Chain A
């Protein structure tokens, strides 16, 4: 009886979690469509805002789910595509694509963007195994530092390309490096959202294995997970997600860190609900941040990555300080 009551309570809580999340997402979308820099003529809404909101939705979903997965894969709640430098790797991929003749068109750049993300994520995977096998107690901070260094490396390569590049491309590129959703086209946005949803669904099918990995690699393996197969598959899928997000919206940080962090505190660490709710809240966060970025200083616009970093960086410092306190 008691256990039945508990399970009914749990089902109710889950229902309300999804209900509120979807409701808030709809509200945020309506706000983002209704208000902007100019008076909302129907054409403006349809031609500019709909693709932009759709792209923000897809990119936000992808970054949040990608962040949640990376955190568990590397057993470190501070991981996310931006902090680990994977987004920078992806941006380098885009730039290489541009230099080899692909134009600023989304479709052509997804492939090189994915390869850039995969290369950087591959380095991290290799590094994490080395750290794990040597049994270093400080593995957690070492991996983060390697990620930060990869980020520097990627950004330096981007700066080099900017210095040597053609001035018209530099104009395009400089806003994009800080995250820019204003280039959204309807067709591109629809492709991003569709692919992101498909890949997120594929990642959700690994929920049980991800749950086991919450206890660390050794425990997961003891419970019966083929840890290596899982890590390789999920790093591949996450790299596609990051590749899509970066080629669609540029380098946008902290969504992949803060959203999983908040959702985990709310519904717990079990991935059956964590991943879908991360997708919803990632979408909410980025649609909202993008709306703030074009509404705050209208008629001018801030790159959306600046808005997420302005909120995200202090939050990350807060989280780090809280961790230190808890350890003390």
Chain B
């Protein structure tokens, strides 16, 4: 079966440690392959140290590439994302971590606008995009506040607005909703759904929150010790047998 609207194609992505003396927080990945469709939200699930963040960081260029450590391909509509120059890559794919913050005095509005630094928009158009993103991410009221004075959850809202201003085709979220309260998590998951539908884009979303994953995602990918152990519709992936396999000690889940 051919996929008509495939947006992302990851083939045999492998990342291994170099010399043992290297200090790093990257885990290993072993020949991970999967695809992502336009309009899809895919959760990446797995225990700590299973390689979820490494996968996202590798795809978004945050881990410096070296041919001895990294093998495989990440392609989107014919482009090889791993070798694309930073600026062109940023128009296709963007990464958002769990802490959106600054060491310097920066208002939420300015910080969010930085997402549009390299987009080809007129200044007035950019201003409108920023306003729209602030509204969409429920941080219109925070826009004149200093980023540093906000709570972790509020900063995550601002971070998401930054990512939306950048308007990438694929958004990588690494625990980016983890500090929001239940109400905001729920509302933002709706916002993500709408955004993916409107822009015909896709989201890869690392999370430990299985309930939220069940609400937000269409599909899920399980990783354990750097290997893919499952990839499919979200409800199949959250079936008791699967959970028991990944989390053998968490009896309550099953």
Q: Which residues of B contact A221 (CB under 8 A)?
A: 60-62, 86, 95
CB contact between A223 and one of B23, B90, B106 (< 8 Å): that residue: B90
Query: Does B64 sit at the interface, judged by CB under 8 A?
Result: yes
Within the complex, which residue of B24, B90, B111 is in contact with A134, where a contact is CB–CB below 8 Å? B24
Using Cβ atoms and an 8 Å threshold, which residues of chain A touch B89?
A: 224
Shortest C-beta distance, A240 to chain B (Å), equals 24
Q: Given that A77-B104, A264-B105 are known contacts, is A228 also in contact with B64, CB under 8 Å in the complex? A: yes
Chain B count of residues within 8 A CB distance of the other chain: 37
Determine the chain A residues whose CB is within 8 A of the CB of B163 once the complex forms. Answer: 222
Report yes or no: A219 in contact with B104, Cβ–Cβ below 8 A.
no
Q: Does B127 contact A (CB under 8 A)?
A: yes
Contact flags B118-154 to A (C-beta < 8 A → 1, else 0): 1000001001000000000000000000001000000
Known: A77-B104, A133-B23, A224-B86. 16 other contacts (CB 8 A): A3-B127, A135-B25, A211-B117, A212-B114, A216-B102, A218-B62, A219-B100, A221-B60, A222-B94, A222-B95, A223-B115, A224-B89, A224-B117, A227-B86, A268-B105, A268-B110
CB within 8 Å for A223 and B104 given contacts A134-B24, A218-B62: no
| Complex interface bits, A91-114 against B, C-beta within 8 A gives 1, otherwise 0 | 000000000000000000000000
Tell me, yes or no, whether B97 is within 8 Å of chain A by CB: yes
8 contacts between A and B (CB under 8 A): A3-B124, A133-B25, A212-B117, A218-B97, A219-B114, A223-B115, A224-B87, A264-B104
In the complex, whether A226 has a CB less than 8 A from a CB of chain B is yes
Which of A76, A215, A265 is in CB contact (< 8 Å) with B114?
A: A215
A222 close to B90 (CB less than 8 A): yes
A-B complex: 9 closest residue pairs judged by Cβ atoms? A224-B90, A224-B118, A226-B86, A222-B95, A269-B104, A224-B87, A134-B23, A135-B25, A222-B94
- How many residues belonging to A are interface residues under a CB distance threshold of 8 Å? 33
Is A181 among interface residues, defined by CB-CB distance under 8 A?
no
Q: Counting CB contacts under 8 A, is A130 at the interface?
A: yes
B127 to chain A, nearest CB (A): 6
The answer to whether the Cβ of B85 comes within 8 Å of any Cβ in the partner chain is yes
Interface contact B23-A130, CB-CB below 8 Å: yes
A218 to B101, CA, bound (A): 11
Cβ of A214 < 8 Å from any Cβ of B? yes
Inter-chain contacts of B60 with A (CB < 8 A):
221-222
- State the majority secondary structure of interface residues on A: helix
Name which of A75, A212, A221 has the most chain B CB atoms within 10 A of its CB.
A221
Residue A57, interface by CB 8 Å: no
A326, B149: Cα distance in complex, Å: 9
Contact with B along A1-20 (1 / 0, CB 8 A): 00100000000000000000
Most buried by A among B25, B87, B117: B117
Q: Is A225 an interface residue (CB 8 A)?
A: yes
Q: Is A194 an interface residue (CB 8 A)?
A: no
Q: Which of B86, B90, B95, B118 has the most CB of A within 10 A?
A: B86
Q: Is B238 an interface residue (CB 8 A)?
A: no
**Set B24, B91, B101: member contacting A133, Cβ < 8 A:** B24
Closest A residue to B123 using CB positions:
A7
Assess whether A208 is interfacial by the CB under 8 Å rule. yes
Question: Nearest chain B CB to A149's CB is how many angstroms away?
Answer: 20
B166 within 8 A of A: yes
